[in-house]
Structure 1
Amino acid sequence: MTGPRASTVERPDGTTLAVETRGRDDDPVLLLIAGAGWSRDWWDDELCDRFVAAGLRVVRYDHRDTGESTHWPPGAPGYTGADLTADALAVLDALGVPRAHLVGLSMGGGIAQSIALTLPDRVASLTLIATTAVDPRVGELPGIAPELAALFASKTPEPDLGDPVAAVEALVDGERPFAGPDAFDEARMRTIARRVVARSRDLAASANHYAVVGEAHPGPDDLSALAGVPTVVVHGAVDPLFPAEHGRALAAAIPGATLLEIPGMGHQLPPASSWERVVGAVAAQAA
């Protein structure tokens, strides 16, 4: 089977995770781990299909507090960052996958690093997108861009997330400042935002991730231990949240890692113009 198939994973604490797989059952598994606040919908369907065409079985899932997974009241997450990390492994366990290729974006990249450091036998390769090192040995790195810091500090009215039209516009506008100025595909983003709004039980709850994300990477943190794990670091040259130096330092900290720095890309899913390079790099190390 190659078409999308939906399933659920039940966690010991009663949490239900919504999961989608696509691709042949006997192809190598590529687990997509999204960033903070993101449901599985943010992994563009066309990009997922390109991974499938490259011979990979794609698995994506809704984090807690996103999509169709279990939600908590906004501002009161009933879980820790460590639970978000454990959820990724639980998805693989439920599918009977002992070892997978992990692709993590932003927070998801930190989760992927943590899994590889803690349980290296579960990880066939790593693709780390728009993220930073969990290893404190990496040293001082530049902070967020001033314009993004100013945006965080500004007082703006909260959008009405109960209004589907307003919620879509809020999601699109929320992603715009993070993208590279020439890498923001508004039409594609709006299509994704409509799906996010349609599938999410409580959009406001997704902000709970920011309260626990700092706890998502317990355990070992020495990235030099990943010498035997094939790794590609994909980073935007104009990332305003984790400037390009973060990607370069991350690639340098993992022995043998390859850096794929994308011109014009910000803190975002790699733009469509780069997908041939990204999919080629991921498929090559998966092979």
Structure 2
Amino acid sequence: MSSLETLTLLELAHGRPESMSGADRRPRPIAGRIRATVRGFGALGCRSLLLIALLSIWEAAPRLGLVDPVFLPPFSEVIAAGWQLAQTGELYDDVSASLLRALSGFLISVALIVPLGLLVGWYARLGNLLNQLIEICRNTAPLALLPVFILLLGIGEMSKITMVIYSCAWPLLLNTIAAVRQVDPLLIKSARTMGATAPQLFRKVILPAALPTIFVGIRLASASAMLVLVASEMVGAKAGLGYLIINSQYSFLIPQMYFGILGITVIGLAFNAVLQTLERRFMRWKALVAT
């Protein structure tokens, strides 16, 4: 019996005649995608329920007298205050100033520190040489150095961007070093056995294996950037969300203060979502391996 006849008999036995067209086979993957989409919306709805509940409590508690509305205004009043800031243009100035400082410092830090971490992680002698300096610097709190940066660089943009770079450096550096050192030695030996050159070894083995941990450092650095930026804007700035928060507190504009806090939260969430998207794009091979 030929292989074609055997294949035909197997298809008939499973109830799938050879004449079945491609269009007849499509409903199965389409149905799977529909089910996955429905499950995704269901999960999103469950996660949103908690947020809606918290916002409802925030709105109701001051109106019911459970908390003092002077110190915790209803959520709707906070949004109304933000809308007024947007109409006057002040909100745009503050958000753009904070985003410029945060993104500049964060991107400069990634461009400088990730390559340094790859070198320190790969070359043990360089790591031993810099280890003591790294430990001293990473255990010095960035906010403790804020007066030093202001004295040396002034109260302009340079001191704030430098503060962001410094605060982002240590989670980036430590996670990148750990990522390179944790690459499976068996993978490196196998690549060398197959004749991979040093650039090929780095590009094909070390960097893909280290990327997940490097992205952990990148996301930690983004959170650190927003934290330090807001603190620096509270000390010496005339624009920015940190300035908006502290100025609203001093002026007793409590709804504006809360809106500034919400603005920082939204920016942080958007920043994290962008980084997660980039992580999935750069590490599509993980999904292929999982399947």
| TM-score range normalised by the length of the shorter chain | under 0.3
* Higher RCO (CA-CA < 8 Å; seq separation 6+): 1
Higher helix content, 1 or 2: 2
Relative to the length of structure 1, the TM-score reads: 0.24
Relative to the length of structure 2, the TM-score reads: 0.24
Higher strand content, 1 or 2: 1
Larger radius of gyration: 2
